[in-house]
Amino acid sequence: PGGRAGAGRRVRRRGHRGLQHRHGKRHAGFPGPDHLHAPAVAAPAQRRGPHLLRRAHPAGRAVHRRSAPRVEAQPGAPGQPGVHLLRRPGARILLPAGRRETPEPLDTYGYYDQLSSHPASDLRRDTVLNLAEMGIPVKYSHHEGAPSQHEIDLQYTDALTMADNVMTARMVIKELAQQQGVYASFMPKPFSTSNGSGMHTHQSLFRGNSNAFYDPDDDLHLSVIGKRFIAGLLRHAPEITLVTNQWVNSYKRLVPGYEAPVHVSWTMSSRLDLIRVPSYKAGYETSLRVEYRAPDPACNPYLAFSALLAAGLKGIEDEYPVPSPITSDVASMSAEERTARGIGRLPTSMGEAITLAENSELLRETLGDFVYETLIRNKKQEWEQYRSTVTDYEISRYLPLL
């Protein structure tokens, strides 16, 4: 399908030759052109799910392959620790339900609950062991904050392999859950009264083995390159949200009060803003990174990674100015204060996201005409089906009253 081969200016034209897009401690690297076909994504993948995924998802992988060469990269040392891409599948494990029944949580525990004998914990353990046997190592796994919400963090690798691994992990988790008679869902917001599931994405750019986001002389330890990358993400966030949050249900997660981003802002501390730069720790320069918190685990990771990379690089290439980081609670600000500070808002519905994406030159160039137009067409159909559906909420609220 159509992609973005050669589209846009390369980073090296701005004097940034040798930048490598990586994802440090919880993120994965975007390899350079010579490494797009490297064995890191070849031999092991032929023995597991990603080999099938290359045939099942050719469009998404092709988009990512065409986007990654925008960065003139030098390969990192094999097995080098540092910057990783957090894949947060955050699966919710539910009890079986009939066609008209409402699924119930399999557990009601909370964040980091250590109970080890519950069926949900057993299922999570089996998932970790099965993924490891398939060559997909897991770095962490634990219970999340909402009932029956579990997090499995895959070990970092290059971004294309990570996207393959995420797709494989989803399939494995669902299959294992089905064997035990339960659902495992990556639906962003299955319950209206508890937190949804996110897939926070951590990103860095490297020049050789040096983190290009790090500047020892800056008060925030953040380089000009890092700040412009953030500026690119901020400016283009609304128009790429259809890719990072691609379902009707995705926008029921992006609401106030449930630890999900709503406003287009960045911070060094709060976990409620769209972008967070985790605090720098002396001696850990390679771990300085940018966390983008909007994506959910139901998105297409190939398209999402490509869109995020394109937005960040656009900020570097065109030298976008970055606003000052937010040091107060953005949710507590008045609408007037947010407007005065230039703080926008993410789309509140898929319909709004479609409109923004339709007017996005960046998204069209990144995805290519075929994928872009197919995405817009399919999402318009889905949105119209949703808009014309009479929901249980409407029946229960209006039928007796009107």
- pLDDT at position 164 is 87
Q: How many angstroms separate the CA atoms of 128 and 122, rounded?
A: 10
Is 133's pLDDT higher than 80? yes
Contact between residue 362 and residue 281 where contact means Cβ atoms under 8 Å apart: no
Q: What is the mean pLDDT of residues 292-301?
A: 93
Closest CA to 273 of 294, 249, 299, 251: 294
Q: How many angstroms separate the CA atoms of 45 and 62, rounded?
A: 16
Of the chain, the percentage scoring pLDDT greater than 70 comes to: 72
* Fold observed for domain 11-87+198-389: Creatine Kinase; Chain A, domain 2 (3.30.590)
Q: What is the mean pLDDT of residues 165-169?
A: 88
Which amino acid is present at 371? V
- pLDDT at position 113 is 62
Q: How far from 22 is each of 123, 147, 157, 310, CA to CA, in Å?
A: 31, 33, 9, 14
Q: How many angstroms separate the CA atoms of 20 and 234, rounded?
A: 21
Q: Choose the weakest-confidence range: 15-19, 117-121, 190-194, 249-253.
A: 15-19
Please, which residues have CB within 8 angstroms of residue 321's CB and are 6 or more apart in sequence? 231
Q: How many angstroms separate the CA atoms of 243 and 301, rounded?
A: 9
Q: What is the mean pLDDT of residues 389-398?
A: 93
**pLDDT tens figures, 337-380:** 999 888 999 999 999 999 999 999 999 999 999 999 999 999 99
Q: At what angle do helices 301-317 and 224-244 cross, to 10 degrees?
A: 140
Is 42's pLDDT higher than 60? no
Question: H-type helices in 276-391, by residue range?
Answer: 301-317, 335-340, 350-358, 361-367, 369-387
* Cross-strand bridge partners of residue 138: 154
pLDDT band at residue 282 using 50, 70 and 90 as cut-offs: confident
- pLDDT at position 67 is 65
- pLDDT at position 34 is 32
- pLDDT, the chain, mean: 76
For the chain, how far is it from start to end, CA to CA, in angstroms?
Answer: 50
pLDDT band at residue 77 using 50, 70 and 90 as cut-offs: very low
Q: How many angstroms separate the CA atoms of 183 and 106, rounded?
A: 9
User: What are φ and ψ of residue 207, in 5° steps?
Assistant: -110, 105
Is 213's pLDDT higher than 50? yes
Q: How many angstroms separate the CA atoms of 292 and 325, rounded?
A: 14
Q: Choose the weakest-confidence range: 19-23, 285-289, 310-314, 315-319.
A: 19-23
User: What are φ and ψ of residue 375, in 5° steps?
Assistant: -60, -50
Is 32's pLDDT higher than 50? no
- pLDDT at position 111 is 60
**Count helices and strands in the chain by DSSP H and E runs:** 12, 12
Is 131's pLDDT higher than 60? yes
Provide the 8-state DSSP code for 103: P
Closest CA to 155 of 170, 134, 140: 140
Q: Name the residue ranges covered by the structural domains of the chain.
A: 11-87+198-389
- Please report where in the chains the tokens 């099938």 appear, as a residue: 52
Closest CA to 150 of 101, 102, 192, 183: 183
